[in-house]
Structure 1
Amino acid sequence: MKPMDALLEVLRTEGVEKVFGNPGTTELPLIDALAKASDFEYVLAVQEHSAVAMADGYARGTRRTAFVSLHVAAGLANGLIGMLNAKRSRTPLVVTAGQQDRRHLAQDPLLAGDLVGLAAAAAKSATEVHQANDLPVVLRRAFALAAQPPAGPVFVSIPMDLLAEDVDVPVPDRSPLAPLGAATGLDQAAWILASADHPAIVAGDGVGRDGAVAQLVNLAERLNATVYHNPMHDRMNFPFTHPLHGGMLPSHNAAVRAALTGHDVVLVVGCHAFSPHQYTPGPSFPERTRVVQLDDDPAELGRNFAVELGLTGGIRASLTELVAQVGRRAQPVRATRPAANGTPPPTLRAPLDPAVAAKAIADGLSTDAVVVDEAITLGSHLRPLLRLTRPNSFVHTAGGGLGWGIGAAIGTRMARPDRPVVAVLGDGCALFGLQGLWSAARYHVPVLFCVANNGEYRTLKDTLTESYGPGPHPGLDLGRMDWSKAALFFGVAARRVDSDTELREAVASAGSLVEPLLLDVPVR
């Protein structure tokens, strides 16, 4: 089998159906091969960050490793933002980039560069293939490593001349790996949890990644434990409407410590530290609080805080066993969806207060909707109002690389065509990933993009005012932009929202979309 055929065979047997990318000269052999392979779809992005973001959303939605093809050093550099987000969110990706022809690399040709060095900080592993025989083996390793806890992006550099070599290379069979089993020491964990007077659980994104939401609900109900989402969580790890849901923990240690005060035992499940955003002195936990930690990554145990007991194992398998061992402390609490207000509030006109816009979005969401959140100011109002109960209903990234939301929403909808996707975006965030709208239009992806248009970096203004006093400060004003025109330029239908009623109704109709639609939502 020739190198290019071997590459496609590895992708095929790894379950890859879509190749997300933006091609250049070094990817032309791949593009030619894909033209003859009808079982693959090449999903074009007009900027590499959008390609990686789409793959991120797609990998989460399908729960399979996604494949990305970038172009040499410059294309890889553009894609690094998405790779950093995927690494932080632990999204399994295999990212490749075409390297220049090896026969003239010594001459430092145009577009060449140290691809491995460039990718290293944003990937779990970065390597370059040097021999055609090694290509299938390296790709097999990449897919295995990307999915292995902690999941994340793996980078492979592939010289373009290697793919054109006229040699036969063997393709190793895929090696199916059994999922992690239950942790050892669960009997001791059950004893500690059952002895608590006021237990709490911190539900990390590992719960959602491993499909363990139902198991965590069972455990929380048996313990009658308050369940907090980890700070700036990326997934729906516990039903938002459940009576035991305590909301999301704040993103700095002092506030986390205050929220957990009064709980004598805390179980931390699948949580990458507590991801503090701003420094505050002191530990995350109140003094004398007993902490049990469960994770599929042993490096997380005791990493940022001392634990009485650290457990390594599959999240779902361990929670299933833990439920059986804990017994029942109280009558199980059943989730109840909040009743809708029978009297509709008066219509409010744009520009809307961010809290009003958030409520309109939350009230309009259908029970099967998926929310992709990249709205920093509006998102802080939205999260406490969400009534999401189905797994995989919430998608966010704590990676910090802005411009992720548009592409992630497209990939999410491609992965889950049976569920409406509503992307809630800040205007500053959306500007970083604006080119993703081209792909939404090109592939007719029916996502509802809600852009909160306040014409400024609001969160920075708030932080500056709190820390240094009122401004004005330079570099924080964008000015009012016409997002309808921006969307139409890329071929996406758009309209301006003039009231909270119109916003709520548009969100409610997201499931009937057959093409993408952008809402320009003026907020104060």
Structure 2
Amino acid sequence: MKPIDAVLHILREEGVDRVFGNPGTTELPLIDALAGVSDMDYMLAVHELTAVSMADGYARATRRPSFVNLHVAAGVANGLLGMLDALRSRTPMVITAGQQDRRHLVQDPMLSGDLVGLATPAVKHAVEVQHARDLPVLLRRAFALARTPPEGPVFLSIPMDLLAEETEVDVLGRSTLHGPGVATGIGEAAEVLAAARRPAIVAGDAVGRDGVIEELTELAEALGATVYHQPMFDGVDFPGTHPLSAGMLPPTNVGIRTALAAHDLVFVVGCHAFMPHHYTPGPAVPEGTTVVQLDTDQAEIGRNFAVRAGLVGALGPTLTALTDTVGRVPDAASRLEAARVLTETARADVDAEALAAYGDSPLDPLAAAHAIAAGLPVDAVVVEEAITVGLKLRRVLRPARPRSYVHTVGGGLGWGIGAAIGTRLGAPDRPVVAVLGDGCTMFGIQGLWSAARYNVPVAFVVMNNGEYRTLKETLDNVGGTAARLRRYPGLDLAPPTVDWTAAGKFFGIAATKVTSAKELRDTIAGVGELAGPLLVDVPIRSHAVEHGYGGGS
């Protein structure tokens, strides 16, 4: 089998039915080979960040590694943001890039470069294929590494001439991988958990990725434990409607420490070391708090805090074993009832606050978030990349269905549009609503071309406040010169004001501008009937209006 035929053979066996990418001359052997097949589509993006982000959303929706094809050094550089997001969010994918022909690499030809050096900081592993005979082995290895905990992107640089060789190569068969089993130390950990008087659980994103929400819920109910989502969580890791759900931990050490201070024990499950955003002094875990930790990744155990019992093993079977061993603690029922009273009151208060702010545009940010949450069809998926409104959305959106919320903790802006396209392609039976900041949309606007090209029925909801509001609010919190003078150099997107409906139509996408919170809610309620992409412009009150000053940069 020739090298290019071996590539297609392996992709099929690994479950790849779509290639996401932006090709160039070094990818022509792959493009030529794909022209002769009907079971694998090339999903074209006009920017590499979009290609990687589409693959990110697709991998999460299908729960199998996706495949990306980039072009030489420039393409890898453009795709780095998406790779960083995938690495942080632990999304399994294999990324290839065509290297220049090896026969003239010594001359430093145009577009050549150290592809492995470029990609290495943004992926789990990176390697350049040197011999045609090694290509099947390295491609199989890449897929295996991508889906081995901790999952993530793996990169292969493939020289153009190698892919075009007529050499016969042996194709390595697909290996069956069995993950870790039940962790050891169940008895000790169960004893510590059962002895807690005020237990808390931190549900990390591995819970949602591994599909073990039900197992975690059963343990939480057996303990009567308050459950927090990890800071800036990427998916549904615990039912947002459950009375034990206390919402998201704040993304700072002091915020986490304050929230956890009410508990004598914290059980951290599948969480990457809390990952705070802004620096605040002191540790995340309060002094004297007992910590039990469970993860599939040995490196996570005790990474940033001391643990009384550290468990390494498959999350689902280990959680079930813990529940069976703990039984049901005597105070579980009373703890559950107390939590129910607190959560119902807190949720009613925030809903009332949001509803009181309903009105005409420009909309109050909390009201806009509430209108989206209230309008969502029950089976919808929210892909969120809206920095300030996104935080408010987390207060009012209480997703219970697995994989109904998608975010990236990676922080590489421009991810949302591509991720929403990939999510809908991977889950074609579920409506998808992308909630996007206007700044984030600017970073990834080329993705609208792919949405139009493939007529992907996604509602792209742009929260349009005309500014980098999160940075203004951060400056306000530290009380610097900008806050005193109410001047924020470089943080305004208006003027000129972007006409987002015109931007949507430029790419051939239907677009509308809402005039009230009620209209936004009704628009979102209809997304299940979309036959193609829709861009929704949502004018949001600016920082200047909210704080009563003239604004300007």
Q: TM-score normalised to the size of structure 2? A: 0.92
Corresponding residue of 2:288: 288
Corresponding residue of 1:455: 466
Give matches, 1:353-368, under 5 Å.
Answer: 353-368=364-379
Give matches, 1:62-81, under 5 Å.
Answer: 62-81=62-81
Tell whether 2:489 aligns with 1:474.
yes
**2-side partners of 1:181 and 1:441: how far apart?**
44
Secondary structure in structure 1 of the residue aligned to 2:282: coil
Q: Which amino acid aligns with 2:118?
A: L
Q: Which amino acid aligns with 1:502?
A: E
**1-side partners of 2:398 and 2:501: how far apart?**
29
Conservation of the 8 A alpha-carbon contact between 1:94 and 1:142 = yes
Q: Which amino acid aligns with 2:428?
A: P
Shift of 1:179: 2.3
**2-side partners of 1:508 and 1:345: how far apart?**
20
Conservation of the 8 A alpha-carbon contact between 1:430 and 1:451 = yes
Identify, as 1 or 2, the structure richer in helix.
Answer: 2
Corresponding residue of 1:498: 515
**2-side partners of 1:179 and 1:287: how far apart?**
35
Secondary structure in structure 2 of the residue aligned to 1:515: coil
Structure 1 stretches of 4+ with a deviation exceeding 2 A read 330-341, 344-347
Shift of 1:387: 2.4
Spell out, residue by residue over 1:16-71, the C-alpha distance to the aligned partner (whole angstroms, 9 max, x if none). 00000000000111011001111101100000000000000000000100000000
Shift of 1:346: 9.0
Spell out, residue by residue over 1:136-182, the C-alpha distance to the aligned partner (whole angstroms, 9 max, x if none). 00000000001111111100000010011111100011001012211
For 2:406, which of 395, 405, 411 is the aligned residue?
395
Corresponding residue of 1:2: 2
Spell out, residue by residue over 1:178-219, the C-alpha distance to the aligned partner (whole angstroms, 9 max, x if none). 122111111111111011111000000010111010101111
Secondary structure in structure 1 of the residue aligned to 2:400: coil
Give matches, 1:276-315, under 5 Å.
Answer: 276-315=276-315
**2-side partners of 1:366 and 1:181: how far apart?**
37
Q: Which amino acid aligns with 2:184?
A: T
Corresponding residue of 2:328: 328
Corresponding residue of 2:531: 514
Q: Which amino acid aligns with 1:438?
A: W
Give matches, 1:164-175, under 5 Å.
Answer: 164-175=164-175
Corresponding residue of 2:49: 49
Corresponding residue of 1:137: 137
How many matched pairs? 522
Tell whether 2:171 aligns with 1:160.
no
Secondary structure in structure 1 of the residue aligned to 2:178: coil
For 1:420, which of 416, 431, 439 is the aligned residue?
431
Q: Which amino acid aligns with 1:228?
A: Y
Q: Which amino acid aligns with 2:398?
A: R
Give matches, 1:68-467, under 5 Å.
Answer: 68-329=68-329, 330-331=332-333, 348-467=359-478
Indicate how the Cα distance of structure 1 residues 11 and 128 shifts in structure 2: closer, same or farther if over 3 A, else same: same
Q: Which amino acid aligns with 1:377?
A: T
**1-side partners of 2:215 and 2:477: how far apart?**
41
Corresponding residue of 1:488: 505
Q: Which amino acid aligns with 2:378?
A: T
Q: Please list every run of 5 or more consecutive structure 1 residues that lacks an aligned counterpart in the other structure.
A: none
**1-side partners of 2:250 and 2:535: how far apart?**
31
Give matches, 1:4-19, under 5 Å.
Answer: 4-19=4-19
**1-side partners of 2:491 and 2:142: how far apart?**
41
**2-side partners of 1:184 and 1:84: how far apart?**
33
Q: Which amino acid aligns with 1:261?
A: A
Q: Over aligned residues, Cα RMSD in angstroms?
A: 1.6
Conservation of the 8 A alpha-carbon contact between 1:197 and 1:264 = yes
**2-side partners of 1:35 and 1:283: how far apart?**
56
Conservation of the 8 A alpha-carbon contact between 2:357 and 2:367 = no
Conservation of the 8 A alpha-carbon contact between 1:125 and 1:154 = yes
**1-side partners of 2:97 and 2:357: how far apart?**
54
Conservation of the 8 A alpha-carbon contact between 2:357 and 2:364 = no
Shift of 1:473: 2.0
Conservation of the 8 A alpha-carbon contact between 1:367 and 1:388 = no
**2-side partners of 1:88 and 1:180: how far apart?**
22
**2-side partners of 1:311 and 1:345: how far apart?**
46
**1-side partners of 2:115 and 2:358: how far apart?**
54
**1-side partners of 2:155 and 2:398: how far apart?**
37
Shift of 1:317: 1.6
Tell whether 2:503 aligns with 1:523.
no
Spell out, residue by residue over 1:95-129, the C-alpha distance to the aligned partner (whole angstroms, 9 max, x if none). 00000000000000001000000001001111000
**1-side partners of 2:179 and 2:358: how far apart?**
51
**2-side partners of 1:488 and 1:126: how far apart?**
40
**2-side partners of 1:321 and 1:509: how far apart?**
43
Secondary structure in structure 1 of the residue aligned to 2:459: strand
Q: Which amino acid aligns with 2:450?
A: S
**1-side partners of 2:515 and 2:217: how far apart?**
40
Q: Which amino acid aligns with 1:437?
A: L
